[in-house]
Amino acid sequence: MATPRKTRVAVLISGRGSNMVALIEAAKDPTYPAEIVLVLSNRPDAAGLARAAEAGIPARAIDHTTFTDRASFDSVLDAELRAADIDLVCLAGFMRIFTPSFVAGWAGRMLNIHPSLLPLFKGTRTHKQALDAGVRLHGCTVHFVVPELDAGPIVAQAAIPVRQGDDPDSLADRVIVQERRLYPAVLALVASGRARLEDGRVVIAESAPDGALLSL
């Protein structure tokens, strides 16, 4: 029997790309249901571009500063993704807001990782927001992307305890470890069809390992 085609994934970054590296590493497993075929950055100086190229993945920048408006940047990005026959887009530290029409074109096929337990602490400086709020649990979330920032249906989360004496950097150091575990696990679920968006909610198949996400 022919092997089913792997889900073709593009990872979008703006910075160092450590979540991107985690996805690339996971996808090296021959049984992994997705392959990372393209890395794009809106910033030519993103350190992650070189890391992707080292891993043999086509990686290029589409410099957003060379566009006069958001829609024209989004349409070039969209054309690149479609030219590469991308099935699923993973945002990994991609620091650009999309136009609603770009998001609509990738509805149910675009994931983001956010460094907080959504719906708490949207936007930036999430670790400081968590400390200021005095929460005892913090973490990260992978969600489908919708036009509203950090508001899409949640696929999975990983939590860490907030310790006495934590500062934003120490929290970030522990959350990023969980991000790099959670994102490859979620991509596998979505790429294999075991997690999908149905009527705006995430449905996880019975066959997905029960509690596996909670124990991440």
User: Interface with ligand GRF by CB under 6 A: which residues?
Assistant: 13, 15-20, 48, 92-93, 113-115, 176, 179
- Rounded Cα distance, 58 and 50, in Å: 10
End-to-end CA distance of the chain: 33
The nearer residue to ligand GRF, 75 or 170, going by C-beta atoms, is: 170
Chain centroid to Cα 180, Å, comes to: 10
What Cα–Cα distance (Å) separates residue 190 from each residue in 30, 68, 155, 156, 203?
Answer: 17, 35, 9, 11, 10
Q: How far is the CB of 132 from ligand GRF (least distance, A)?
A: 18
Q: How far is the CB of 70 from ligand GRF (least distance, A)?
A: 19
Which residue has the CB atom at the shortest distance from ligand GRF? 93
Contacts (Cβ under 8 Å, ≥6 apart) of 48: 13, 15, 16, 17, 18, 20, 21, 39, 41, 59, 92, 93
Q: How far is the CB of 111 from ligand GRF (least distance, A)?
A: 12
Residue 84: other Cβ atoms inside 10 A: 13
Q: Round the CA-based radius of gyration of the chain to a whole number and report it.
A: 17
Q: How far is the CB of 189 from ligand GRF (least distance, A)?
A: 18
- Rounded Cα distance, 72 and 19, in Å: 27
The nearer residue to ligand GRF, 167 or 210, going by C-beta atoms, is: 167
Q: How far is the CB of 124 from ligand GRF (least distance, A)?
A: 9
State whether the Cα torsion 186-187-192-196 is positive or negative: positive
> Which of 64, 114, 127, 143 is labelled catalytic?
114
The nearer residue to ligand GRF, 63 or 85, going by C-beta atoms, is: 63
Closest CA to 12 of 82, 81, 71, 79: 81
The nearer residue to ligand GRF, 125 or 201, going by C-beta atoms, is: 125
The nearer residue to ligand GRF, 115 or 184, going by C-beta atoms, is: 115
Is 114 one of the annotated active-site residues of the chain?
yes
Catalytic residue numbers, as ranges: 114
